[in-house]
Amino acid sequence: MDPFFHKCLDILKKENTHPNLPGLLISENININYSKSIEADLLIIAVPVQHIRTTISEFSLKSDSPVLITSKGIEKKSLCFPSEILNSMIPPKANLAVLSGPSHAEQ
């Protein structure tokens, strides 16, 4: 795994902040961890569309956890939207929601 990922995870756990977001505190009510088996009140998928399949295939998802997709776009290989990709990969009883809106990438 990427050393930067582990560095960020350690900082998130110890200081409730992210190294790229100085001054922004993350609530102590949010549990930050890395585990192959995920049980959560809400799963948030926020990875580039081209990496959703690879990312999700790394984890075992609990069937009744609701899933929120914030990824936008279309997968190049399959021409699938993020919701279509996840519907083919997660348990059929999972509740799936999509958060979308305008993009403002002024970076």
Residue-wise pLDDT for 7-50, tens only, equals 777 878 788 887 778 788 888 887 776 777 777 788 888 889 99
Give the pLDDT score at 1: 56
- State the DSSP string of 54-68: HHHHTSEE-TT--EE
Span of 5-14, 33-42, 52-61, 74-83 with lowest mean pLDDT = 33-42
**Model confidence pTM above 0.75:** no
Distance CA 107, CA 14 (A): 28
